[in-house]
Amino acid sequence: MSLIDVGAPRLARNGLRFAFYGRVSTEDNQDPEASRNWQRSRALTLIEPAGGEIVAEYFDIGMSRSLPWKRRPRANDLLADLTKPNRGFDAIVIGEPQRAFYGGQFLLTMPVISHYGVGLWVPEVGGAIDPDSEAHELIMGVFGGMSKGERTRIKIRVRTAMAAQAKIEGRYLGGRPPYGYRLADLGPHPNPAKAADGKRLHQLEAHPDYAPVVKRIFAEYLRGRGFYAIAEALTRDGILSPSQADPGRNSHRTGEGWSKGAVKAILENPRYTGRQVWNKQRKDEVLLDVENVAEGYETKLRWNKEGSWVWSDKVVHEPLVSVTDFEATKKVRAAHGHDRTNRERTRTQHFYVFKSRLWCGLCGRKMQGQQNHGKPNYRCRYAKDYALANHVQHPDNVYVKEEDVLPILDKWLIKLFAPHRIGDTIRTMADNAAALAEPATAPEPDADAAAKVAECDAKLETYRAALEAGADPVTVSGWIAEINAKRAAAVASSATGRARANPQGRLSEEAITLMIQALGDIREVIQNATLEDKARVYDQLGLRLTYAPSTKTIRAEMNLDPNGRGVMVSVRGGT
């Protein structure tokens, strides 16, 4: 039985019908099948004496407990199924409260469950939760706090162990090898359990082709050459840049040559001195919305100050530069930057409504936000970042003002989604999807594909009903995107399914209509909402803007397809 299958509802013979919910994450370091089995067994032990049976199952795999229910796929499905009159179950049972609820999640989730007349059974309570009981609320709050504390203790133990391994043992703790090094095998992992799983220890060793390049970069910089001059010379000499040398692990890079940023990163990397260095970066959990804590957190990678880095006590791999030369390069950089390293630098956070949505039409790179005279602008500095040896015709800087783009874009969207034009807009999007769809191949038929498609279609109907009942449009839109992705995968696995349900392998007019309905009144948001709300709508529409400096025009594309195919509308207007 699949860990995430939901069985067809069956009537319990003697008592309540239950939906089982469980969760396992990578941080728990458990086998998903074993974890599911013991959680489900514990739930059955609770409900079977009362004549209950499990008729539906929702089990999240690889989902952190810190994520709220709406951001866990299977928990989100369970919340969606609560709205269905024929959901097939009367109550929810969980195997362990720490697995289901983290921090204050119980207080946010239980009112929703109770609203739809569904009970919640928990082993630690010995049966059903009484939503009006202060004692039950207190108990569940304690378990939520225990869950949060357990996760915190795990993080502390892991980080403390890794710091000791880096400092005392000089152990390589994973990650991408720095340019100029490659991984060497040191034998089986010292942990017997990990060794039994085939895990091995590794160490950095000098790469025969790229280690000399690193030495050249340090030598040229100490002779007075700048980042840009070094990058240009390396590209001209045909030397592979880091992204060209390892394209599989640098797919996010352009791979067009050496950038001055790549040179700078090499000069700032202390691991070239032969010592292992850990904790240069950290993961911070940041609230998605400070006005709505229930939305939960997102993880962001941030740089630590040099004083908190963990250095190995001894040299553990071949140095490519001496400590003396490495410290000398730091002094040169400090002098060029007017000793910035000795001054505290502060950054002001600015909101950019087109962040990650505006692209340069010359080089195809994302344009970066920048404040000019207190107003948001976007720029592309391709020629400043990459060596001229790439022969790309590109100005030093390409600028576009946000205030020039925003009103034109909004006017276009308001026109597209006007009540008398929205039908034509949807048909145009569907037709463009058909024109851009890739030729269908002939995969092996999947016997279960038709059932999966039918299940997805049923859920889409449920989401439509939820919209009409007044459910949150943003939340429902996320559900729809996820189900459309699953539906597309099922359709793609069946030739007969493709021919019947989606002849061109694309989103249908009905699917596009449903997704647009989930966004609510787009015109109202565009006309009256804050920039933050507009940005959310642009994100749901899959908006992509491409700026052509020569004609000073913007090309706007909308892509509602979760698989990223072909739902596109374009507009051209002077900025």
Helix axes 260-267, 227-236, angle to 10 degrees: 110
- CATH numeric code, 17-151: 3.40.50.1390
Q: How far is CA 482 from CA 242, 296, 560, in A?
A: 35, 19, 12
**Residue 257, pLDDT score:** 77
Mean pLDDT of 476-481: 62
Instruction: Encode pLDDT of 268-284 as tens digits.
Output: 999 999 999 988 888 88
Long-range CB contacts for residues 37-45, cutoff 8 Å, separation at least 24? 38/95, 39/94, 39/95, 39/96, 39/99, 40/95, 41/95, 42/95, 42/96, 42/123, 43/18, 43/93, 43/94, 43/95, 43/121, 43/123, 45/123
**Residue 338, pLDDT score:** 44
- CATH numeric code, 181-276+312-342: 3.90.1750
Chain position carrying tokens 């804050």: 530
Instruction: Encode pLDDT of 212-229 as tens digits.
Output: 999 999 999 999 888 888
pLDDT at 186 over 60: yes
pLDDT at 26 over 80: no
Closest among 450, 455, 493 to 8, alpha carbons compared: 455
Closest among 143, 4, 137, 11 to 75, alpha carbons compared: 4
Dist CA 190 CA 193 (whole Å)? 9
**Residue 566, pLDDT score:** 36
Residues paired with 281 in a beta bridge: 303
Q: Say if residues 277 and 312 touch (Cβ distance below 8 Å).
A: yes
pLDDT at 486 over 90: no
Model's pTM, two decimal places? 0.53
Q: Hey, is 557 helix, strand or coil? A: strand
Instruction: Encode pLDDT of 421-469 as tens digits.
Output: 677 777 776 666 555 554 444 444 455 666 777 777 777 777 666 666 6
Mean pLDDT of 499-521: 54
Identify the burial level of 147 via C-beta atoms within 10 angstroms of its C-beta, where 0-12 means exposed, 13-18 middle and 19 or more buried.
Answer: buried
Give the pair of three-digit tokens for residue 165. Answer: 């391994």
Percent of all residues in the chain with a pLDDT value above 70, rounded to a whole number: 72
Higher pLDDT, 324 or 536: 324
Q: Say if residues 556 and 543 touch (Cβ distance below 8 Å).
A: yes
**Residue 29, pLDDT score:** 64
Q: 335: pLDDT confidence band, cut at 50, 70 and 90?
A: confident
The pLDDT mean for the chain works out to 77
Q: Say if residues 574 and 553 touch (Cβ distance below 8 Å).
A: yes
Q: How far is CA 369 from CA 176, 199, 348, 375, 378, in A?
A: 28, 43, 12, 10, 5
